Amino acid sequence: MIKIFQLKKSYEDNTVLNDLNMTFNSNGVDIIVGINGSGKTTLLNCISDITPFESGT
Protein backbone atom coordinates (compact mmCIF):
# COMPACT_ATOMS: atom_id res chain seq x y z
CA MET A 1 0.00 0.00 0.00
CA ILE A 2 1.19 3.51 -0.82
CA LYS A 3 -0.18 6.47 1.14
CA ILE A 4 0.48 10.04 0.03
CA PHE A 5 -0.23 12.88 2.45
CA GLN A 6 0.02 16.62 1.73
CA LEU A 7 2.44 16.15 -1.21
CA LYS A 8 3.62 19.41 -2.78
CA LYS A 9 5.83 19.84 -5.84
CA SER A 10 6.62 23.06 -7.70
CA TYR A 11 8.81 24.01 -10.63
CA GLU A 12 9.88 27.63 -10.02
CA ASP A 13 6.57 29.58 -9.80
CA ASN A 14 4.43 26.75 -11.22
CA THR A 15 2.84 24.53 -8.54
CA VAL A 16 2.19 21.11 -10.09
CA LEU A 17 1.05 19.12 -7.04
CA ASN A 18 -0.50 21.01 -4.13
CA ASP A 19 -1.49 19.20 -0.89
CA LEU A 20 -2.18 15.93 -2.72
CA ASN A 21 -3.64 13.07 -0.64
CA MET A 22 -4.04 9.59 -2.17
CA THR A 23 -3.99 5.94 -1.16
CA PHE A 24 -3.07 3.12 -3.54
CA ASN A 25 -4.17 -0.32 -2.32
CA SER A 26 -2.04 -3.37 -3.06
CA ASN A 27 -4.99 -5.61 -3.91
CA GLY A 28 -5.97 -4.06 -7.24
CA VAL A 29 -5.05 -1.94 -10.22
CA ASP A 30 -5.08 1.83 -9.85
CA ILE A 31 -5.20 4.16 -12.84
CA ILE A 32 -4.09 7.79 -12.88
CA VAL A 33 -6.03 9.78 -15.48
CA GLY A 34 -5.75 13.47 -16.30
CA ILE A 35 -5.20 15.99 -19.04
CA ASN A 36 -1.75 16.86 -20.36
CA GLY A 37 0.24 18.83 -17.81
CA SER A 38 -1.87 17.80 -14.81
CA GLY A 39 1.07 16.22 -12.92
CA LYS A 40 0.67 12.48 -13.57
CA THR A 41 4.33 11.88 -14.46
CA THR A 42 5.51 14.23 -11.72
CA LEU A 43 3.49 12.23 -9.19
CA LEU A 44 5.05 8.94 -10.31
CA ASN A 45 8.52 10.49 -10.29
CA CYS A 46 8.00 11.74 -6.72
CA ILE A 47 6.69 8.33 -5.58
CA SER A 48 9.71 6.55 -7.09
CA ASP A 49 12.14 9.14 -5.62
CA ILE A 50 13.35 10.30 -9.05
CA THR A 51 12.15 13.87 -8.44
CA PRO A 52 12.40 15.46 -4.98
CA PHE A 53 9.29 17.17 -3.58
CA GLU A 54 9.00 20.19 -1.29
CA SER A 55 6.77 18.78 1.44
CA GLY A 56 4.57 15.86 2.36
CA THR A 57 5.02 12.19 3.11
Domain ranges of the chain: 2-48
pTM above the 0.75 mark?
yes
pLDDT at 35 over 90: yes
Going by pLDDT thresholds of 50, 70 and 90, the confidence category of residue 7 is: very high
Residue 40: exposure state from Cβ atoms within 10 A (0-12, 13-18, ≥19): middle
Query: What pLDDT does residue 26 have?
Result: 79
